[in-house]
Each structure stands twice: as C-alpha cells, then as structure tokens.
C-alpha cells in the first residue's frame, strides 16, 4: 500500500474512533460539578415485617453516594438535598423449580421497594417522590433464612444503586 494511502487510512480510522466517543464525558452524568452539592440521607424506616432492613439500606445508600462522587455526603443534617424514604415492601418470589417437582422452588427473586423522596433544602422543591425497587436472586438450598440473610447486602446495594442513579441522573 502506498505511503499516502496508509496515512489517509490511519487518519480516517482515527476520526471514526473519535466520533464514536463524542458523547462520553468525564465526571458526573448530571452536568453538576463533582462534590459541589451535599446530600443528607435519613434512615429509611422499615414498614415491612422483615427485620433488619433499615440499617442495611442506610449503609448501602451512603456507600453508593460516596462511590458515585456526584454529591458530597453530609452527616450533619445540613445537606443541599435531603433523601428520606421508607421501606414499603419485601417480597420473595419463586422463579425456578426443582426438575421433576413443580411444587419445590429452587431459586427465589428477592425484591425490596422503598418510597423515596428527595427534597432541595434551599427551595423546598420535591425533586423525586416515587417507589424504587431493588432485586437479587438466591438459591434456596436447605436453609432459606440463611440464604436470604446472606443476600440482604446485595439486595440493599441494588436498591441503593437504583435510587442513586435516579438522584444523580435527574430522573424525576
């Protein structure tokens, strides 16, 4: 291949690759400067009969907000945004059954739903007020209670990720 054709080919490939990355940006996807606003996360009261959900969700929410980096976590109750909510539903739904025995469930989907409210402290505007659901799968084996207990952090992480995505991306 002649030298000028090779350099034209490389130029075209370079332009093509750059055009594919035009919509990508570094930093938060909301357009806000990282850490410019603070956010307070209040504990979510548990309205279900399943114990131990509230502290696990609170921990997952704080971890998710910190790892995202869009907002600075405020623990002194003076954040620009205040996140409140309540855990309203905890479900265990059978998704697969033992081969040859349609009455014995092998895998369950755990679902946890929280009614989440995000309010701008300065303006009083409610920016988000809706239910959000987290999900995870577990294999029942012989001890369903142990399997659920081990899956609870994963379930809370999924719920916290979904809530954080809505807050950060402005899905209200």
Please give the backbone phi and psi of residue 95, each rounded to the nearest 5 degrees, phi first: -120, -30
pLDDT at 30: 46
Radius of gyration of the chain, Cα coordinates, nearest whole angstrom = 22
Residue 128 structure tokens: 């988000």
Q: Is the pLDDT of residue 49 over 50?
A: yes
Mean pLDDT to the nearest integer, 144-157? 94
Q: Is the pLDDT of residue 141 over 60?
A: yes
CB neighbour list of residue 147: distance below 8 Å, 6 or more residues apart: 108, 138, 139, 140, 141
What is this structure's pTM?
0.78
Residue 112 CA to residue 92 CA, distance in Å, equals 9
Please give the backbone phi and psi of residue 143, each rounded to the nearest 5 degrees, phi first: -125, 90
């Amino acid at each position: 291949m002649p030298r000028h054709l090779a350099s034209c080919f490389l130029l075209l490939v370079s332009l093509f690759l750059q055009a594919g990355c035009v919509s990508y940006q570094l930093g938060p996807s909301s357009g806000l400067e990282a850490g410019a606003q603070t956010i307070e996360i209040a504990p979510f009261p548990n309205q279900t009969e399943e114990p131990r959900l509230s502290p696990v969700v609170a921990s997952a929410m704080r971890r998710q907000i910190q790892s995202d980096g869009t907002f600075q976590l405020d623990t002194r109750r003076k954040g620009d945004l205040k996140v409140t909510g309540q855990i309203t539903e905890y479900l265990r739904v059978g998704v697969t059954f033992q081969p040859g025995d349609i009455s014995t469930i092998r895998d369950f989907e755990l679902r946890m739903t929280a009614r989440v409210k995000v309010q701008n402290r300065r303006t009083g505007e409610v920016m988000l007020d809706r239910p959000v659901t987290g999900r995870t799968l577990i294999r029942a084996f012989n001890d369903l209670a142990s399997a659920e207990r081990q899956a609870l952090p994963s379930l809370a992480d999924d719920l916290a990720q979904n809530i954080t995505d809505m807050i950060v991306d402005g899905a209200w």
